[in-house]
Chains A and B, each alone.
Chain A
Amino acid sequence: MTTAPTQSPAPAKRTFTAAASEYVNDRTGLAVAIKGLGRKAFPDHWSFLLGEVALFSFIIILLSGTFLTFFFQASMASVHYDGSYVPLKGVEMSVAMASTLDISFDIRGGLFIRQMHHWAALLFVAAIGLHMLRVFFTGAFRKPREINWVFGFILFILAMAEGFTGYSLPDDLLSGNGLRIIDGMLKGMPIIGTWSSFLFFGGEFPGTAIVGRLYTLHILLLPALVVALIAVHVGYVFIHKHTQFAGPGREPTNSVGPPILPIYAAKAGGFMFLIWGVVSLIAALFTINPIWNYGPYDPSPVSAGTQPDWYIGFADGALRLIPPGWEFVWLDRTWSFNILVPLIAIGIFILLVVLYPFIEAWIKGDKREHHIADRPRNAPTRTAIGAAGVTFYAGLWAAASSDLIATHFHLTMEGVIHALQAIVIIGPIIAYFITKRVCLALQKKDREIVLHGYESGRIVKLPGGEFIEVHQPLDEYERWRLVSYNSYQPLMIRPNARGKITVGQRFRAGMSRWFFEDRIAPVTRGELEAAHSTQQHH
């Protein structure tokens, strides 16, 4: 594969591959890249592939989306539908809706591509979410990767924006009511609200401009940003090299795994086709967004079970959980706290997510580069915070389907809403404590295993008549997996150079105490020797 540029006359016998690669390289200098990257190691763990799921589903979205643009017409001009679908024949609708119906019913394979596009979009955002959880719980956002966490986070937001703009394009009843909610939320903002909605919709809601505008965002601006940020994000993965879990031979200073060429290329390339295959399979067999049921947008009808796609669900759920009456007229102006509070709560949540790496780094004061991924149990407070965040998000998300939960489990919708209100507030606290205790317990168990070995299940009788269970000692490789992590201790408050204890310092110490008060240190050699000697005394 790698043929360095050479001035010397060619050897007598040259293969075609060699000749071709030399031809290409003489004009591109690609040999540098192949030599540099071809044998790079990519650490192997199933959770390290989640980002690729997002990347590969994005490729489906780009390809299938391009196909759809050949047929979709982003116009809100009115036509009478004259396609194949009988229950909509003669119905007045926008050109956008009619062209989407034509893609579904009058272009062979069009429905398949449309369904692939939409399913891949749901998968794209879901994969980003799961990938972020992996990065969070393994501490893979620590130095030097904090900025890449921010880029990834922006990608998550852009993906949701891509999804929502796409969901709104067919101008059907479901997405029209979704835009109606966006209009209502915009109007609820203080000062800028009314005008924002007016400008966004090009006049009064719904107007005749919004589909065209969303289309420009959906196929031009947002994809350009997503592609650019993916390039940056993946570029940083190359620069930083991937994290790896602790293991024999794995050091903070190396990166161990199958080489990119050929094994990783085969696996990742194959994986790309597998994801495409799974999405194709789903698109072939499962309906998504049946706009022919929803019909064209009309401000009067609405369907039971009107919900956004899953990734906007948490915002919709937050709106549902507000108790009655949170809206006031003050200073002759309307203050819609029933809209502001959910937006602010979500805003704070999002801000905490994006800032978390910087907060944790500040508390720890650890300036080293971290390339060994944490096992979640070895960072109990972080894992517990993550569990609390997941619970909060899940509560909001579930609230977006409160009506379906009520009908499917034979509950009252009022009861479901009240229960979810409680879960969103108390749930994260409970999840925090349970997770933290579970992590600490698992760490204790690890210590126990390192010190005394595995329980073998074999009982022997000692000469003295005593029964004991034989413990299987660990080999050094197994042991290394369990002991190679850092524990942190709470920060001691010390006066600074001018003999003062600053508020910032005090705050940092408080946070540090909260994080590291309960800590379980890895077993040291001394402890292991001590444990062995007491065992021999038995």
Chain B
Amino acid sequence: MEATTAPAPYVRRESLLRRAWNWLREHAINIYAGFAIAYLLIPIAVIILFSFNDPAGKYNFTWVAFTLDHWKSVFSISELNSALLTSLRLALFATVIATAIGTLMAIALVRHRFFGRRTANFLIVVPMATPEIVMGASLLSFFLILGTPTLGFSTLLIAHIMFCISFVVVVVRSRLIGFDRSLEEAAQDLGANAFQTFRLVTLPLIMPGILAAALLAFALSVDDFVVSNFNSGTTVTFPLYIFGAAQRGIPVEVNAVATILFVGTLIAMGFTVLQQRRAERLAAVRPPQEAP
């Protein structure tokens, strides 16, 4: 369009230049986005690549040679193994408890109008807007002054449940808001009591939301460093092991474990997405005339 305004004798050359320029202008944002995505992915590639490195010294910062040795011995460092097991155990407990009580909270907030609802919403938002270090430090102050429980697995569990709850509520709530309540009414018309309606209609339909929330809680817990750093006592989780090992050189096996965790999360997320699609199909199965 703009090329038509060019002086007549230079039309051919100008239009070629202009075409290139216009192409660049049109795609500039895509090219920029491409660089941004490379920026996001390169460190992940580096993590995976350096799990195959054969470093010269104890520091795994310079590429030396390709080897599979550290993948063969991935579970041979006993401290790393026990840290991983602690992390997984902690995340499992924290996820189950936080998902259960967070889901109840989400149901209360979406389904009921009651006095104190705004305060409850506020109570859920504030922990997500608080820097982790303040959360960790205040909880440590609390345990220090009370003198109980002793810092360790139990205080870690308390802390992890605490910071997971808000995220569970937010995820489950978004699923509940888009919920078609006529399905529940239909169940009740057919003679189901409140509990049966919940178990047989509501729960299966919000299950993908609960699963997504649980996955998020699990990921947050396994990955947490800051709050754990403050409240772990002598208990060592996977991130705390890495932090401790940083001074004396982090073993290459850590990169292999990080790669395994990465792939594991990918698979779990793929599974959740499939579940979500399935539930959407289930919810869509009803005569069109019933749609509002």
Pair from one complex: no
Binding site for A on B (CB under 8 A): none
Binding site for B on A (CB under 8 A): none
